[in-house]
Chain A
Amino acid sequence: MKKREERLILGKGQYADDLAFFNMAHLVFVGSPHAHARIVSIDTKKALALPGVITVITGKEVAAHTRPLPVQANFTSKGWTWRLADVYAIPADKVRWHGEPVAAVVAEDEETARKAADLVDVAYEILPLAGDLRTALAPGAPKVYDDWEDNKQVHLVFDFGDSEKAFAMADQVLQVTNREGRVTGVPIEPRGCVGMYDTKNDTLEMWGSFQTPFLSRHNIAATLGVPEAKVKINAVDIGGAFGLKIHAWKENVVALASKLTGRAVKWMEPHRDFMATGPHQRDVFWDGTIAFKNDGTLLGLKATVFHDLGVESTNKGIAALSIFPACSSPTNMYKWVGMHVEGIGTVTNKSFYCAYRGYGKDKGIKFIEAAINQVAKKLNMTPEAIRMKNFIQPDEFPYHQINNYVLDSGDYPAVLNKAMEMADLDFYRKRKKELTGQDRYLGIGLVTAIEPAGVAVPNCQMGGITEARVLITPDGSVEVHSDRTEIGQGAEISHATIVADILGMDMAHIHVKRVTSDFIGQGPLSSRGAVYPASAVAKAAKLLRKKVVQCAGSLMKIPADQVVLEKGYIYPANAPEKKISYAQFADKMFFFPGPRGLDPEILKAHDHLLDVTTTWYSPTTPESGSSYTSFCVSADIAVVEVDIDTGVTQIVKYVHVHDAGTIINAQVVDGQIQGGIVQGIGEALYESLNYDENGQLMNTSFSNYLIPTAVEAPDIEIAHLETPSPFSETGSKGMGEAPIIGAKAVILDAIEDALSDFSIRVNDAPATPEKVRKWIRQATEKKPVIS
């Protein structure tokens, strides 16, 4: 039963670009061709003269009619450096990155708006550039925000456990560095929405690719200065999101345009703009030292991670917030004595940073996994042996990690063992040796990871609590409401499965409703789906079941524990022939609940109203401060072959073993794993946003920003373990990010193993053919290879 998928496959999708309203106008943004420049003047006369153009909005109008983008995360109170910039959706004074919108044209149709956008004449005075992290941090560097002391936005310092003790206990230490290129998670569908401002009632309603309608409402209302109660945000079918559609930024301008023109206004972002001015991620450099004993016991880490954030995030503070998980996650799934981790975030004249699958957790885990594999090499241990030695053991859960994470459950050794068995590790290690000397370079990579999932960061907009409503309508069908937008991750089918199971109904009668801002919650981000909304929905369904059982027992004059709910029917356990359908039952409850049917006590308590709204919040976060509730477990083993003449990496085998607790829908979980792994492979091998010396983004097209096609993507072998989480309502854990974390780490590890003859440290993603060739050339120049 795949209602949504069947609807979409029949061509009945309603994506943002399909939205059409009566008398709808179209909005197109004008982007800056410069990375850092003062806006001297904007001449809109020519654009306005084009027939069909309604208005042109510039930074001046935006400043006059809206407020600066609201703060979404602010941690200045901790004594850390945490700067926030006072920015608007369109700047009035200067542009800070290539593509930043300087004006928005509203016209009768999109083609006219696009033409008019070319006619907006902007005079710029080009300013010197803080084009990358190194330049931006140099003394006297050009400042991205004039009122800041320098370009450092964030400097966080974390002490977990006792790092000094860890280093004092160590037999050895090892320095490890790692770099990850700048990427974007771009889905195939760009962002888009329609805004409709009702000037009679002063209300705003929007429809579009909103990943988090509740947060979008808060931020759009705040920017427009309208009470939230007068704004409603509706998510439509969303063509992929991965974190990149949690914005309220250009959307504010669409809302403003509707308010100023009194028209429904549609904006559909051209895909090249989505790349140039969409959220970016990664772009980090790690420099750390890991302490360990000669027997392979891991002890501690001292590390600093430098982030090139680009400009202030349009979700103000949310880019900086991703440095938290980057700094916390290196503990991964091992026992440690202590860590000292510093996270530095710098603003530069690049597009802004926001969420993308991983959101920092990927960075910390990727770094520590690479570091541990270096330690193993140093100690002549296998990568599996060093992990087995340091894993938290199955009988130690819940485990209070040194960074305050409360690890919920799992069997880490079993996950790794299963992966090793599936990957036929011994065979491939033997094969690698056989190929040595034949000019073929086989490499085996192995990493293990936990995925901190279901985020609730105290003291910011990502604070957590989620609301859900499940109700049985008078005709016996079921409505399910939550904050969990469907972005292709199986939200609808998962919710329907949970509710159908609890109520003993057929999934055909469960209707998972489109997400709007009416229900509280931050939506599906940081793998919250199976933790927060799924728990809230399950909790509501369980409470509803209790009502059904109580009322049916009263109606049938049997004890509640004798009521059976099965396949859409309700009957006494000892008399199945007396069954009534949910439709009959609901009709009775809504329209004929008089005292001759139900116990009056039920009526007095209104328990016959088959409608439950409830909330769910992590049981561990309030006391531990842990931002995450569940920790799914994975092991990735990849076998690659590197062609040293071309630098091309071929993936020969890919194995992924996963434990996401109780599985709600196996096909959905596998789909998340496969998709995540291929995105990880993209990061490891191909994807890199490259800015030139003038701050121009060089690749804004799928022709030069290379995401994996069906040809590059490998076959993926998957196996599951199911260790339920004690903390979620269904036993399931958040998942969907572990695959990208494991994949990007394991591919680089495998390439390093393939190039072991050259002693190359593969620590700079993506490992493109050009880069691999460069490494080989550098290595062979130092040490000629004997062929």
Chain B
Amino acid sequence: MKMPLTFMLNNQQTTLEVDARQTLLEVLRNQGGMTSVHRSCEEGECGACTVLLNEEPVNACLVLAASVQGASVLTSEGLVKNGKPHPLMKAFTDELGIQCGFCTPGMLMNAYALINRAGDNLLTDQVIRKTLEGNLCRCTGYVNIIKSVQTAQKAKLAGEWW
């Protein structure tokens, strides 16, 4: 069954014609053009499709698209401002928290929510690890990902953030 779906996608009001059975992952990739939302396990285990739904990280493969009517969805494309990488993205590039790049967009979104939640509290290694537990990475061994998140938080505390 086709239905219209209106929601905020990366801060833009968006209306798409979707199938009621489609997941948010399918809609974001196929209709929304947000190909940074990566498809892997399709069962909420790998975290590659993590996006923010009303500022909370969710696995887009486990969310029915129809349920985001009126909500706000942020993907990593939405972090880019005027073609410039977000300071969080810059941190991942600088610290090489990215290797093959497949888990990265999901990792970014979870880390973005974490850093925003943390406020002025410096994120410890342990907190970052626990938070990113649901985002699997097979390349980096996570060491540089943890560093990237810490570097990004410093950027936020220095006022470079959006």
Q: Which A residues are in CB contact (< 8 Å) with B141?
A: 671, 673-679, 713, 716
Which of the residues A8, A670, A710 comes within 8 Å of B101, measured between beta carbons?
Answer: A8
Q: Which A residues are in CB contact (< 8 Å) with B29?
A: 17
Once the chains bind, are A187 and B102 in contact (CB under 8 Å)?
yes
Once the chains bind, are A13 and B101 in contact (CB under 8 Å)?
yes
Number of inter-chain CB pairs below 8 Å: 163
- Classify the secondary structure of A's interface with B: loop
Once the chains bind, are A488 and B139 in contact (CB under 8 Å)?
yes
Q: Which B residues are in CB contact (< 8 Å) with A702?
A: 41, 45-46, 136
Q: Does A701 contact B (CB under 8 A)?
A: yes
Which of the residues B43, B89, B128 comes within 8 Å of A10, measured between beta carbons?
Answer: B89
Interface size band for A: 35 or more
A7's nearest neighbour on chain B, judged by CB, is B101
Q: Which A residues are in CB contact (< 8 Å) with B103?
A: 188, 239
- Classify the secondary structure of B's interface with A: loop
Q: Does B55 contact A (CB under 8 A)?
A: no
Per-position binary interface string of chain B over residues 127-144, scored 1 when its CB falls under 8 Å from any chain A CB and 0 otherwise: 011101111111111111
A701 and B41 contact, Cβ closer than 8 Å, known pairs A188-B46, A675-B138, A710-B142: yes
Q: Does A240 contact B (CB under 8 A)?
A: yes
From B31-39, B62-70, B153-161, the one touching the partner chain is: B31-39
Assembly CA distance A186 to B80 (angstroms): 30
Q: Which A residues are in CB contact (< 8 Å) with B45?
A: 701-703
Q: Which A residues are in CB contact (< 8 Å) with B140?
A: 671, 674-675, 678
Once the chains bind, are B99 and A709 in contact (CB under 8 Å)?
no
Once the chains bind, are B38 and A17 in contact (CB under 8 Å)?
yes
Once the chains bind, are B98 and A240 in contact (CB under 8 Å)?
no
Q: Does B16 contact A (CB under 8 A)?
A: no
User: Which residue, A8, A18, A241, A715, has most C-beta atoms of chain B within 10 A?
Assistant: A8
Q: Which A residues are in CB contact (< 8 Å) with B104?
A: 8-9
Once the chains bind, are A710 and B133 in contact (CB under 8 Å)?
yes
Assembly CA distance A488 to B99 (angstroms): 4
Once the chains bind, are B143 and A716 in contact (CB under 8 Å)?
yes
B side interface size, CB within 8 A? 51
Per-position binary interface string of chain A over residues 174-186, scored 1 when its CB falls under 8 Å from any chain B CB and 0 otherwise: 0000000000011
Q: Does A15 contact B (CB under 8 A)?
A: yes
Closest CB-CB distance, A658 to chain B, in whole Å? Answer: 14
Q: Which B residues are in CB contact (< 8 Å) with A670?
A: 96, 143-144
User: Which residue, A237, A670, A674, has most C-beta atoms of chain B within 10 A?
Assistant: A674
Per-position binary interface string of chain A over residues 649-689, scored 1 when its CB falls under 8 Å from any chain B CB and 0 otherwise: 00000000000000000011011011111110000000000
B interface, CB within 8 angstroms of A:
29, 34-36, 38-43, 45-46, 48, 75-77, 80, 83, 85, 89, 92-93, 96, 98-105, 108, 125, 128-130, 132-146
Besides A13-B35, A710-B146, A713-B141, 9 new A-B residue pairs in contact (Cβ under 8 A), listed by A number: A8-B101, A9-B92, A188-B38, A188-B46, A238-B100, A270-B42, A674-B141, A710-B133, A711-B130
A interface, CB within 8 angstroms of B:
2, 5-6, 8-11, 13, 15, 17-18, 185-190, 237-242, 268, 270-272, 487-490, 667-668, 670-671, 673-679, 701-703, 707, 709-711, 713, 715-716
